[in-house]
Structure 1
Amino acid sequence: MTTTLCGAYVRPDRIAVLDAMDEWAGARHAVHVVFVPWDPDGLDHVFDQLLPEVWNAGRVPLLTWEPYTPTPDSTPPDIAARIAEGAYDDYLDAWAERLRGWLAGPDGALGTADDRRCFLRPGHEMNGDWYPWAPAGGNTTPEEYVAMWRRVHDRMDDLPAERLQWVWCVNHVDVGSHTAEACYPGDEFVDWVGLDGFNWGTSQEWSGWASPAAVFDEMLDRLDALAAKPVCVPEVASSSVTAAGHDPSRKAAWIRDAFDYLDDRVALRCWFNEDKETDWAAFDGARGTESPDGAVPHWRYAAYRDATTDIENRAVADETAFVGDAAFRGE
């Protein structure tokens, strides 16, 4: 049986929170989701600080590589077309060289015992309308998005799949006139297919409470039909906001239901553990079903701990297998 890998998004400057979350849950988060823009001046930060911190904490980074150059305001609306045409090849080559060196580990040689691993998620949620690399969000087409992905992949296609896994990740619903399927680069350019999905509750004017099945069913079925690839959910979370106000107990029930649902269908799922648009966090957020105390000075949801421990208990006894070769490839 495939063991579901557990991961989380926590801001890199709060990595101590993820360590505390592991200790509280009694189980390892094997994957740490991080976000970086396309910034030529940021290579040292990514490869000398960010990725080493994640790896040295005992986790595999899931690097969400956002084609902001380097900020949303400075990114041209036709960024996907420009990348596809080669305008950023120098940056891609420099980035690939740094990634190659990081994956090789301290001895600088790939294929040895100190090699590292990374999931790479470029240009995510391209079937929405909030990113400039998305056809509905910028001045681009699905064909140009596909060409962008393939060009990026081709600049580093010598990196072994045992060390680098490519994650093509959509939003759980199409927003705009372009489907997720229209932006699929092809099986030879993708290792994992993924989707991000949230229960916004009534935290937004446009949102309502949605069960895990309502959030994920349709797109999971579409991904299964699109490609015979392992499936992941790099971002999942729930608000606690209901029509009657905040209801942590209802969010706790959603967490239990979501993990039961996802762990039957995906090989990797990562909780979005930062309060951002609403109270997404399951640990160290604005509220929970357990309040801060002398033992654990954080708000937390016991349902999250219980579900994560269940996954750990279903893994084999050797802890390294939880992030081992087969799990890394989604097998």
Structure 2
Amino acid sequence: MTRRVLLGGAAAAAVSGVAVGMHRFPRHSPPAPSSPASPSPPLSPSASPEPTPVGRPGWGGPVAFKAGRVMLGAYLDLAGMTFDRAMALRRRQLGRGEKIIHLFYGFGDHLPSSLDLPAGTIPLISWRGVPYQTILGGHSDSIIKAAARNLARLKQPVFLRWAWEMNGNWYPWGGPNNDNDPQGYVDCWRYLHRMFTQQNARNVAWVWSINWNNRPPAATNRFQSYYPGDSYVDWVGLSGYNLGHESPQTLYDPLYSAYATRKPVFITEIAAADFGGVTKGDFIRKFSAYVAARPAIGAVAWFDTDTHKDAPYNWRIDANTDSLAAYKAMASSARFAG
């Protein structure tokens, strides 16, 4: 397999506009995994990216990009543990807390207006999309306005990733499921962005996040066609999992090469399957070296979980002692001290 479909189901319980304990954040029922994807043509693993002018004023919007530093965090859901216990375990293992906490919400859920997060932690809100006409027809204006007002009430910077992986055919907001109309996606994104601005949600950093390869790999489904424009995007991101011995270059270089001179890069979903031995740790070490060589990468959210049914992978960073050691070394490096 070279592609997985995991999160994105509607929340089992909405988070209201009051402070909640970390263990009460929504959990999700994942859709069944898709069939293997046809990968995009890989770049050479030895290929060097173009030099990137980084650290320019305003990079990252409300969540500022820090030159030379990566904000490292995770979607964290460990079997048999509350969120608080899982966070405490990772802090003991790594000697540090998560800089980013990844949370998933359905489109009709109440986005949070208050979060009980450790000081200095930045939430990454992945907010499901809907078919394009549901938005462009004005049918969801009340939902969008409420979401904007709630996030504005957080009174802290927040990443918002709306309708991710739109260049795939597994979600109802994907272009292939909307008459192969990338412009419709762009119009929806700009519609939401304008409405959030009208509601004064100026603490929101907009994260446009693709899947690492286009599926189907058709001319009408190129990820670049879904880009809303520099004025509407603060960070560019992608989902890329090591499911078939892919190199970091294969997974992440197409996006990096396309946008790293224009926007900071956020690896919004990443994990590695365990193929035995030290394969999981080896991918983490390769990824750490990859990021060190690409200065425009400013944020990474690991998919650190072992709870997803219909997905036979243990994505935990401590799946074995070598993978935990590799992850700890990466998390302890100066590059990941953002």
* 3-state SS of paired residue (2:300): strand
User: After the TM superposition, which parts of structure 1 deviate over 6 Å for at least 4 consecutive aligned residues?
Assistant: none
2:126 to 37, 47, 64: 64
The answer to which structure has the higher helix fraction is: 1
Q: Deviations over 1:1-57 (max 9, x none)?
A: 421111111139534313321221112320011110112xx32xx426xx513x246
* 3-state SS of paired residue (1:260): helix
* 3-state SS of paired residue (1:98): helix
Report the identity percentage: 28
Q: Deviations over 1:67-94 (max 9, x none)?
A: 25xxxxxxxxxx1122122110011112
Q: Deviations over 1:184-216 (max 9, x none)?
A: 11111110011111101xxxxxxx311222222
1:3 to 69, 77, 96: 69
Matching of residue 288 in structure 1 with residue 288 in structure 2? no
Matching of residue 47 in structure 1 with residue 87 in structure 2? no
Q: Residue 272 of structure 2 corresponds to which residue in structure 1?
A: 238
1:197 to 240, 247, 250: 240
Q: Partners in 1 of 2:138 and 2:84 — Cα distance?
A: 36
* 3-state SS of paired residue (2:240): strand
After superposition, residues 52-201 of structure 1 pair within 5 angstroms as 52-53=115-116, 55-56=117-118, 58-67=120-129, 79-103=131-155, 116-139=156-179, 141-158=181-198, 159=200, 161=202, 163-176=203-216, 177=218, 178-200=221-243
Q: Do the aligned partners of 1:256 and 1:303 also contact (CA within 8 Å) in 2?
A: yes
Q: Partners in 2 of 1:311 and 1:85 — Cα distance?
A: 48
* 3-state SS of paired residue (1:198): coil
Aligned residues: 259
Per the normalisation by structure 1, the TM-score is 0.72
Q: Do the aligned partners of 1:248 and 1:289 also contact (CA within 8 Å) in 2?
A: no
1:221 to 254, 257, 263: 257
Match of 1:217, as an amino acid? D
Q: Residue 29 of structure 1 corresponds to which residue in structure 2?
A: 98
Q: CA RMSD in A?
A: 2.2
Shift of residue 140 of structure 1? Answer: 5.5
Q: Partners in 1 of 2:115 and 2:89 — Cα distance?
A: 19
The 3 A distance-change label for structure 1 pair 288 and 138 is: farther
Match of 1:154, as an amino acid? R
The 3 A distance-change label for structure 1 pair 218 and 140 is: closer
Q: Partners in 2 of 1:35 and 1:144 — Cα distance?
A: 23
Q: Do the aligned partners of 1:80 and 1:140 also contact (CA within 8 Å) in 2?
A: no
Q: Partners in 1 of 2:166 and 2:84 — Cα distance?
A: 28
Q: Partners in 1 of 2:255 and 2:245 — Cα distance?
A: 18
Q: Partners in 2 of 1:139 and 1:10 — Cα distance?
A: 35
Q: Partners in 1 of 2:316 and 2:277 — Cα distance?
A: 11
The 3 A distance-change label for structure 1 pair 248 and 139 is: farther
Q: Partners in 1 of 2:300 and 2:190 — Cα distance?
A: 25
Structure 2's unaligned 5+ residue stretches are 1-66
The 3 A distance-change label for structure 1 pair 185 and 93 is: same
Q: Residue 251 of structure 1 corresponds to which residue in structure 2?
A: 280
Q: Partners in 2 of 1:132 and 1:264 — Cα distance?
A: 36
Q: Do the aligned partners of 1:262 and 1:269 also contact (CA within 8 Å) in 2?
A: no
Higher relative contact order (CA 8 A, sep 6+): 2
Q: Do the aligned partners of 1:248 and 1:288 also contact (CA within 8 Å) in 2?
A: no
Q: Partners in 1 of 2:321 and 2:118 — Cα distance?
A: 31
